[in-house]
Chains A and B, each alone.
Chain A
């Protein structure tokens, strides 16, 4: 089942074909995945976790890559930072890209630090024309460097800026169009931010260009009452599933995966959650008279 996935260089505009339903590859599940080859269509790895010289993590990655398509997902590109792009980080990203031959490479539409610091968080940008130009220029540099289009993910946020001149969804769509990159649409993040900033999540979905969406993320979060925090430490809640259903109706057969980064449960629990995503997708596809193939833009 070693799928020969080309390393993401489609013609401008369109997204790649769907890989189906995936999970985040996490160390507690390495051996079970390698030994039992569970019913997961593909895995997403956190790129930075494998930017190490050698040893067991890379060995597991190689073994699981032999059986499954892999997408690389980064958290430290800091595409919106005012700092220069981190040359060493790009070198390591390219090195991993050569090793893994991923289906695609993604990171976040955010910044992670300035003046050399890294806050290890996905920090929101002010949605202004100058920020847009800044990000578009840097996405171009990264894509030239990697030789492929990248996916940028919308982040959960807890603050917004009065200086913003457009909405987050307008900004995301503009970045994708102007930089000719793809979108990793995190449905949970849309839900989290819609509560934190009091907007309609369906308005967000409706503004995203269909042909740019390459992947969907699903995850759980913590509701603290005054704010929702994107923790990836618990199951997906019903409102997020409903939003996923709406996303599936709009975007069609888009590669979908579940992220769990803390309090990681046994693999069967995540497989059951993934089956729920499959069931929702199948129901939507039946309702829409689709066979699972991608909807035209």
Chain B
């Protein structure tokens, strides 16, 4: 009985592997195991599945990467999409997550690695998608902070909202993204020798983004690494000057609070 079950299971496994082999690599082995008719032979029938697979994944990439499609052009986008699909078969139950490695692929694929704006756009759009359906959390408010005793302030460790994303970009893909979202012409992307850090936040469930000044980006890096207020404030002083550090820190903090970038705080026990 056990042997029969094992054999039957092995037969089903073999059929499913061969079927999948056709869909992923057009391996013809399965054609002997499926029925064709005069109306449509076995290969014609299997091609419905094989073509459908690629089209569904392309559609998923188009959903997540409209800006990339806009700056690459439809034909080039399909070419890079099909190359990506061939290299990375989907292992996700939810198509939402397919495409997570597209930016890395574009940086490494010889056909596209010299067009760094494409990988930039892919990283930017993946960050937007990640922020879009990140976990919900209450946002820290100025009112809550107003009640904190002055003696505690140096020891405050802020917790970044889970919807916050930061991405360093060397090209003006954020502007290009905004242009395509408006239905405008996409400006030519350029490579900037000084990368800009973009902050993505989510307010009223809407993802927003803006460029951060270099000192603000450094400060936010430290906040995200759970550095206490006095530490990142002091480090800010090294950039903007000690006299301006506190004012700049408060300015940054107010902006982050307004943007919903922080969710809570704890007191440093060290």
In chain A between 27 and 66, which residues have their CB closer than 8 angstroms to a CB of chain B? 48-49, 51-59
The segment from B90-98, B166-174, B182-190, B212-220 found at the interface with A is B90-98
- Please indicate the chain B residues that have their CB under 8 angstroms from the CB of A268 in the complex: none
- Please indicate the chain B residues that have their CB under 8 angstroms from the CB of A49 in the complex: 94, 96
In chain A between 165 and 224, which residues have their CB closer than 8 angstroms to a CB of chain B? 196, 198
- Please indicate the chain A residues that have their CB under 8 angstroms from the CB of B8 in the complex: 128-131, 133-134
Across the interface, do B5 and A130 meet the contact criterion of CB distance under 8 Å?
yes
Bound CA–CA A162/B5 (angstroms): 20
Q: Tell me how far the C-beta of B52 lies from the nearest C-beta in chain A, rounded to whole angstroms.
A: 6
Bound CA–CA A48/B137 (angstroms): 22
In this complex, the member of B16, B132, B137 whose beta carbon has the largest number of chain A beta carbons within 10 angstroms is B16
- Please indicate the chain A residues that have their CB under 8 angstroms from the CB of B39 in the complex: 226-227
Across the interface, do B91 and A116 meet the contact criterion of CB distance under 8 Å?
yes
Across the interface, do B16 and A81 meet the contact criterion of CB distance under 8 Å?
yes
Give the total of B residues in contact with A, Cβ under 8 Å.
49
- Please indicate the chain B residues that have their CB under 8 angstroms from the CB of A118 in the complex: 90-93
Contact A119:B9 (CB < 8 A) given known A54-B134, A227-B44: no
Bound CA–CA A121/B11 (angstroms): 21
Interface positions of B (Cβ within 8 A of A): 4-5, 8-9, 11-13, 15-17, 19-20, 23-24, 33-35, 37, 39-40, 42, 44-46, 48-49, 52-53, 56-57, 89-96, 132-137, 162-163, 202, 205-206
Query: 4 closest pairs, A vs B, by CB?
Result: A130-B8, A54-B136, A55-B133, A52-B133
**Pairs A–B under 8 Å by Cβ, sample size 27:** A48-B95, A52-B94, A54-B133, A54-B162, A55-B163, A82-B12, A88-B93, A111-B16, A115-B17, A115-B20, A118-B91, A118-B92, A119-B23, A120-B90, A121-B23, A129-B8, A130-B5, A130-B8, A134-B8, A134-B12, A158-B40, A158-B45, A158-B49, A162-B35, A196-B40, A229-B48, A229-B52
